[in-house]
């Protein structure tokens, strides 16, 4: 095989693979292409947060009030949740704290998480009640919350340590 024919084959493969990649619908920032209702590139209409829909002045005013109230309350609950998680962390790293106290703190966290989820559902129901049947067809409840807020639910870093972090202390060797 000559170099020219090899280049021709490689060029053809590049064009085919590039055309397949470009034929895929663009992914939304922060979303996987196959995520939920975000398949609007495949003939399905895109869905929106309620604030992105064309709301009447009355709807907009009610939505604004609902949102401000919900997010203020949610912020307080999330701060409380963060505090309880820090307490749990301290309990877990203190060898003098008994197991019952650790389990009780964990139960407080679970109850608060459940309360937050309940408040979130109440908020979404109230938003739903504001929208018309036509608006509901374009509304995605999951679009109501920015990704950053979801990440705030998980204050403890998971995964590999960032570069430059010291390694964890080694466990004492048992003889």
Domains of the chain listed by start with CATH number: 55-138+146-152 (1.20.120.1490)
How far apart are the C-alpha atoms of 142 and 126, rounded to whole Å? Answer: 14
pLDDT of residue 2: 60
Q: What is the DSSP string of 26-53?
A: PPPTTS-TTSTT--GGGTSPP-B-GGGS
Per-residue pLDDT reduced to its tens digit, 31-58:
333 444 444 455 556 788 888 888 999 9
Give this prediction's pTM: 0.58
Does the pLDDT of residue 85 top 90, yes or no? yes
List CB contacts of 49: < 8 A, sequence separation 6 or more: 139, 140, 143, 144
How far apart are the C-alpha atoms of 87 and 90, rounded to whole Å? Answer: 5
Give the Å distances, CA to CA, from 37 to 47, 62, 72, 129, 138: 7, 26, 28, 21, 10
Does the pLDDT of residue 162 top 90, yes or no? no
Mean pLDDT score across all residues of the chain: 74
Does the pLDDT of residue 1 top 80, yes or no? no
pLDDT of residue 20: 45
- Secondary structure class of 139 (helix, strand, coil): strand
- The distance from CA 97 to its chain's CA centroid, rounded to whole angstroms, is 33
**Of 18 and 42, which is predicted with more confidence?**
42
Backbone φ, ψ for residue 2 (5° rounding): -85, 165
Looking at 51-98, list the stretches that DSSP marks H as alpha helix, in order from N- to C-terminal side.
57-93
pLDDT of residue 49: 86
**Of 40 and 109, which is predicted with more confidence?**
109
Per-residue pLDDT reduced to its tens digit, 116-156:
999 999 999 999 999 999 988 888 888 887 553 445 445 55
């Amino acid at each position: 095989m000559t170099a020219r024919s090899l280049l021709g084959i490689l060029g053809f493969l590049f064009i085919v693979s590039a055309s397949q990649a470009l034929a895929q619908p663009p992914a939304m920032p922060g979303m996987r292409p196959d995520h939920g209702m975000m398949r609007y590139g495949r003939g399905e209409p895109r869905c929106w947060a309620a604030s992105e829909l064309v709301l009447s002045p009355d709807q907009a005013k009610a939505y604004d009030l609902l949102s401000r109230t919900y997010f203020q309350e949610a912020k307080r609950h999330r701060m409380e949740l963060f505090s309880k998680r820090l307490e749990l962390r301290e309990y877990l790293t203190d060898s003098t704290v008994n197991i019952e106290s650790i389990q009780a703190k964990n139960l407080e966290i679970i109850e608060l998480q459940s309360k937050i989820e309940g408040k979130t559902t109440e908020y979404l129901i109230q938003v739903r009640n504001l929208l018309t049947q036509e608006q509901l067809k374009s509304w995605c409840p999951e679009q109501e919350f920015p990704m950053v807020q979801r990440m705030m639910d998980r204050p403890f870093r998971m995964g590999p340590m960032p570069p430059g972090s010291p390694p964890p202390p080694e466990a004492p060797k048992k003889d």
